[in-house]
Each structure stands twice: as structure tokens, then as C-alpha cells.
Amino acid sequence: MLPDDALEAASALLRRARYVVALTGAGISTGSGIPDFRSPRSGLWERHDPAEVASIYGFRHNPARFYNWIRPLARTILEAEPNPAHFALARMERRGLLRSIITQNIDLLHSRAGSQTVHEVHGHLRTVTCIHCFREYDCRPYLVALLETGAVPSCPACGNALKPNVILFGEQLPARALSAARRDAARCDVMLVVGSSLEVYPAADLPAFAHRNGAKLIFVNLMETALDSLAQVVIHGDAVDVLPHLADALGGDSE
Ligand code: NAD
């Protein structure tokens, strides 16, 4: 399908839908300067193996190594601003055209763009929790200190390591966010999947789950994914260009 035809087909599906849910991945935030995991050259995966360094076992064994790995990502996330793709989804929600966003991202950019219903299935960098006494704190001051001095965040109450509330390999996904995501994936009649390689489970199962429940799928991604054949519409393009275009075509208000 030619890009213009694909955009028109996507707009038509969204216009007719009664319950639209978006599933987003790291690709929606590359336009904000945050590298994804798997894009060639820029992907974080290319330089490290997050399955090793970003596992809960790795963290418990050596929090300093984890913080050393996440430091550049934390810096870009702290400095990043939402981009037009985040704003387009927020605009669609305000206009009643989008029920929720299920995001694999930890960068808080959907909330900062004004989206209200965001299911953060891989956690977030909003808070940190002590791995020993489970006290919770605001994440930002600890990240700022990490960037400024290299200090590994430690619990003011008991001195043990503080872990950002992001889901590491080997950890359970947050039950409430995951069940809300599954509920919306079951209910939706259109799922708009943006900037995800669909390689990280169980989030990557949600489009197929929605499809089995009768939903139509629209994919917006720079590269092919293994699930492209399930989608009614596949747009291989930059989310920063495509999503504002879709929101405009649906009649969203302007920013
Ligand atoms: P991924 O890195 O596996 O895949 C990103 C996909 O987005 C790729 O297929 C790429 O082609 C596409 N993409 C990149 N830039 C794009 C753009 N401008 N427009 C459209 N598509 C674009 O990401 P994933 O599927 O989300 O899985 C990786 C895991 O990494 C997730 O668990 C996520 O939590 C984590 N992660 C999050 C962030 C973040 O919070 N911003 C950043 C890196 C990794």
C-alpha cells in the first residue's frame, strides 16, 4: 500500500472505530532524542546486552554496573521533551478518539504530553523503591545526583540500593497496569501500534490478542515487525510525521 493510501486507510479505520487503544514502544520517543533498543546504529541493544546488565539478578548483584549502563539513557530521558507524536495521541484522547495508551516506555513522555490514561506496563522512572525495606521515593533527585556525581542511589532509611520502578528482565510486570492493558486490548476495535519492534513479551502479544478479539490493527513503525501480516494497515514511517497527520485527519484540536 502506498503511504498516502495507507494514511487514508488508517484514518478511515480510526474514524469508524468506537474504542481505540494505542500501544507504544521506544520508537515513539526517538523523535525526542531517546534511543530505542533495536534500531540499527542508534539502538542501545547494539552496544550492551540489557538482558544481562538490566536484569533483576544483575541489579541485586551489582547495582553500580546497572546504574553505569542506564546513566546515558537517564540523562537523555531527564532532558527529553514530548514530541509531536506524543502530543498527537494526547490530542486524540482529549477529543474522545482514543481511550488509552498502553506503553512499554519508562520515559513519562505520554503523561508529560497530557495523556491521562496511560498503562505503563514496563514501569516508569517516576519513583524508586528500596530493594530491602521497600520504601518509595521520587526518582528524579536520585537520577540528577547520579548524573552529577555518579552516586549510586541508596535508601536514606536503610542504606540499601534503590531501584527505579522500571521492570527489569526477570521481574513480574506490574499487575494493575498489565491487567488494565489486557482489558483494553480485549475491548478495543482498533489498536494503533506505534514504534515497537514487538519483540518484548508479554506486551508484544497484545496486538495478536486484540486481533483474536476482533480488533483491526494499524502499525506505524520505521521497520517491519513479525506481526505486520496481522495488520489491516502498515505505515512504514516516522511516528513524528505520521501521528500528527492522523490526528489532523480525525479533526483533533491544534496544540
Ligand atoms: P524496540 O527498540 O525494540 O523497537 C523500537 C521500534 O521502533 C523499532 O522497530 C524501530 O524501527 C521503531 N522506530 C524507531 N524510531 C521510530 C520512529 N521515529 N517512528 C516510528 N518507528 C520508529 O522498542 P520496544 O518494542 O519498545 O521494546 C524495547 C524495550 O525497551 C521496551 O521494554 C521499553 O521499555 C524499553 N525502552 C524504553 C525506552 C523509552 O522509555 N523511551 C527507550 C529504550 C528502550
Whether the CB-CB separation of 238 and 213 falls below 8 Å is answered with: no
- Output the CA 144–ligand 1 centroid distance in Å: 24
Domain coordinates in residue numbering, the chain: 1-34+81-122+173-255, 36-79+123-166
User: Can you name the residues that pair with 127 across neighbouring β-strands?
Assistant: 138
Q: Tell me what pLDDT residue 201 has.
A: 84
| Helix (H) or strand (E) segment spanning residue 46 | helix 44-47
Q: What is this structure's pTM? A: 0.93
236 is catalytic: no
Confirm if 103 and 141 have CB atoms less than 8 A apart. Answer: no
Task: Among 34, 36, 171, 221, name the best residue to mutate to test ligand 1's pocket (greatest count of ligand atoms within 8 A of Cβ).
Answer: 36
C-alpha cell at 92: 486524540
The CA distance from 214 to 69, in Å, is 41
Residue with the smallest CA separation from ligand 1 atom 41 is 26
Distance from residue 86's CA to the centre of ligand 1 (Å): 14
Give tens-digit pLDDT for 61-96: 999 999 998 898 899 999 999 999 999 999 999 999
What whole-number distance in Å separates Cα of residue 69 and Cα of residue 129?
A: 19
* Distant-in-sequence, close-in-space partners of 215: CB < 8 Å, separation ≥ 6: 185, 188, 189, 190, 191
Query: CA-CA distance, 116 to 97, in Å (whole number)?
Result: 13
Q: At CA 26, angle to CA 23 and CA 28, rounded to 5? A: 70
| 1-34+81-122+173-255 placed in CATH 3.40.50.300 | no
- Residue pLDDT tens, the chain, 255 long: 557 799 999 999 999 999 999 999 999 999 999 988 766 555 555 566 767 778 999 899 999 999 998 898 899 999 999 999 999 999 999 999 999 999 999 999 999 999 999 999 999 999 999 999 999 999 999 999 999 999 999 999 999 999 999 999 899 999 999 999 999 999 999 999 999 999 888 889 999 999 999 999 999 999 999 999 999 999 999 999 999 999 998 875 554
The dihedral through the CA atoms of 223, 94, 185, 32 has a sign that is positive
Other Cβ atoms closer than 10 A to 107: 25
Q: Is the CB of 124 under 6 A from ligand 1?
A: no
The answer to whether domain 1-34+81-122+173-255 and domain 36-79+123-166 are alike in fold is no
Separation of CA 159 and ligand 1 centre (Å): 34
- CA triplet 129, 133, 136: central angle to 5 degrees? 30
- The answer to whether 36 and 30 have CB atoms below 8 angstroms apart is yes
> Which fold does the domain 36-79+123-166 belong to in CATH?
SIR2/SIRT2 'Small Domain' (3.30.1600)
